[in-house]
């Protein structure tokens, strides 16, 4: 929508403005004789999706045509440059939104420069206002994309016509199952004979993070649809049922990390933020916006007191895990940083970036201690005891020993970029996923190849 017309500013009486606030915040009721034939219009399920799809592009935080914002309920209380109210409870005909979506004048009509809303959508918005602009218990400050109920995802094909990049992997606690990212599902494999033994449907379009909780009964799957939406789903690993949908955003979840000593999860997103989730309450405790580009990986120090993050903004940062205060920013890669991991209590850290190098550095002063060339662009880091695994775009994975900052293994075997990795301490197996949809299972100690297959049902 585009509220382009500028009106002369008018003075709205204090009494009217207070009545307007009370109307929306208190969620006005509707008289018993009114609209009895049909259920009340739902803001969450019916109105918010229309506004999100057709209005927020022109009337959101980044673009505010006519001084109007429609990206959250509290913003709809605010008059625009013309001094008119977008939403007038009980009087839809006086609403700036309704006047414009009903207009056929190209200089006034909304959405601007696009097809008009369907008649059914227009009348639904008007009916919602005439019923009192009820908010269904929505928090006033929540953005529309957050209050809209998550829709059931697309059904996965029985047989994939093409292979998909393996962007996430996770072993079961006993190491006898390996989960991989699929199309709107997680696929469950036997890592010994590469047989498909299960499919967990109703997932994000593409998963970039998988993490097992509660001895493996609960699986965290994070990802989404690039540039459209992101979310993190808490699912029952055995049944595949979604228990909660958290950390919802307008771009994908790229990683998550469990805080040692607390039932708390840090979530990295492509909207440049880090979300801290209280898993006991399944609610967001804090949003951290210290990066200027995608947050690619997160890692806690062993004591849970510090949280490290890597980003495409060419920095790796460490914050206080409780307060969110920035402790240090490491600029040593001078390129996009793809992965980060803590060494011990977080007085030292390691990171990899598009400079194709592994860096080890101190928290104090962000001083670089060592660097190791990798031969190809790296993906996320996987720390295993006193070593770290680095999957690389040169079709290899590398094992670096922290004792001497040197490469102990450089293993080829994929036919495309290696983009994901998982480890089972129970079986000492390592799994790697390729951009071409292939999975390899290795002996983590010596790099011997144990199995390989194309993860394509």
The rounded distance, in Å, linking the Cα atoms of 5 and 76 is 17
For 408, the token pair is: 């102990």
The rounded distance, in Å, linking the Cα atoms of 256 and 276 is 10
For 117, the token pair is: 């809303």
Query: What integer pLDDT is reported at residue 27 of this predicted model?
Result: 39
Count of CB atoms situated within 10 Å of the CB of 32: 7
CATH superfamily of 169-454: YVTN repeat-like/Quinoprotein amine dehydrogenase (2.130.10.10)
Query: What integer pLDDT is reported at residue 109 of this predicted model?
Result: 85
Taken as a whole, the chain contains a residue count of 457
The rounded distance, in Å, linking the Cα atoms of 110 and 102 is 8
Task: Yes or no: say if 413 and 395 are a contact pair by the CB < 8 Å rule.
Answer: yes
Query: What integer pLDDT is reported at residue 449 of this predicted model?
Result: 98
76 φ, ψ (degrees, to nearest 5): -75, -10
Per-residue pLDDT of the chain (457 residues; tens, 9 = 90+): 444 333 333 333 333 344 444 444 343 344 444 434 478 999 988 898 888 888 887 887 777 888 888 888 888 878 888 788 889 899 988 888 999 899 888 888 888 877 889 999 999 999 999 999 888 888 888 888 777 777 667 889 999 999 999 999 999 999 999 999 999 999 999 999 999 999 999 999 999 999 988 666 899 999 999 988 899 999 988 888 888 888 888 899 999 999 999 999 999 999 999 999 998 888 788 899 999 999 999 999 999 999 999 999 999 999 999 999 999 999 999 999 999 999 999 999 999 999 999 999 999 999 999 999 999 999 999 999 999 999 999 999 999 999 999 999 999 999 999 999 999 999 999 999 999 999 999 999 999 999 999 999 9
Block residue for tokens 């005909």: 93
- Which segments of the chain belong to CATH 2.130.10.10? 169-454
Query: What integer pLDDT is reported at residue 4 of this predicted model?
Result: 38
Query: What integer pLDDT is reported at residue 110 of this predicted model?
Result: 87
Helix, strand, or coil (residue 294): coil
Give CA 93 to chain center in angstroms.
39
Query: What integer pLDDT is reported at residue 179 of this predicted model?
Result: 97
């Amino acid at each position: 929508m585009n509220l382009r017309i500028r009106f002369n500013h008018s003075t709205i009486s204090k009494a009217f403005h207070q009545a307007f606030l009370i109307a929306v915040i208190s969620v006005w009721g509707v008289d018993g004789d009114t609209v009895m034939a049909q259920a009340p219009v739902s803001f969450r399920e019916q109105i918010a999706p229309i506004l999100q799809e057709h209005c927020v592009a022109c009337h959101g935080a980044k673009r505010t045509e006519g001084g109007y914002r429609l990206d959250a309920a509290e913003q709809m209380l605010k008059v625009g440059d013309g001094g008119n109210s977008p939403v007038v409870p009980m009087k839809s005909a006086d609403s700036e939104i309704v006047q414009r979506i009903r207009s056929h004048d190209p200089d006034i009509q909304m959405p601007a420069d696009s097809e008009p809303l369907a008649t059914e959508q227009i009348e639904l918005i008007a009916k919602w206002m005439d019923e009192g602009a009820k908010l269904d218990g929505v928090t006033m400050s929540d953005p529309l994309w957050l209050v809209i109920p998550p829709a059931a995802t697309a059904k996965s094909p029985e047989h994939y016509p093409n292979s998909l990049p393996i962007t996430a992997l996770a072993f079961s606690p006993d190491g006898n199952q390996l989960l991989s990212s699929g199309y709107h599902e997680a696929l469950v494999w036997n890592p010994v004979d590469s047989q498909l033994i299960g499919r967990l449907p109703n997932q994000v379009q593409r998963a970039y993070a998988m993490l097992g909780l509660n001895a493996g009964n609960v699986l965290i799957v994070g990802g989404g649809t690039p540039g459209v939406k992101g979310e993190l789903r808490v699912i029952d690993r055995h049944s595949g049922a979604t228990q909660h949908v958290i950390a919802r955003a307008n771009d994908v979840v790229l990683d998550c990390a469990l805080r040692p000593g607390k039932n708390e999860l840090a979530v990295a997103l492509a909207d440049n933020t880090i979300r801290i989730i209280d898993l006991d309450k399944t609610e967001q405790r804090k949003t951290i916006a210290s990066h200027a580009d995608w947050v690619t990986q997160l890692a806690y120090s062993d004591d849970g007191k510090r949280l490290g993050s890597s980003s495409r903004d060419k920095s790796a940062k460490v914050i206080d895990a409780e307060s969110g205060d920035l402790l240090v920013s490491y600029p040593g890669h001078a390129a996009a940083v793809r992965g980060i991991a803590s060494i011990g209590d977080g007085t030292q850290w390691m990171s990899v970036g598009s400079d194709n190098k592994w860096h080890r550095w101190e928290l104090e002063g962000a001083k670089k201690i060592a660097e190791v060339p990798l031969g190809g662009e790296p993906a996320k880091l996987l720390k295993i005891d006193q070593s770290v695994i680095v999957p690389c775009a040169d079709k290899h994975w590398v094992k670096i020993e922290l004792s001497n900052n040197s490469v102990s293994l450089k293993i080829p075997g994929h036919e495309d970029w290696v983009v994901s990795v998982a480890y089972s301490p129970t079986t000492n197996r390592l799994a790697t996923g390729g951009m071409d949809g292939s999975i390899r299972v290795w002996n983590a100690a010596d790099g011997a190849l144990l199995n390989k297959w194309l993860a394509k049902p």
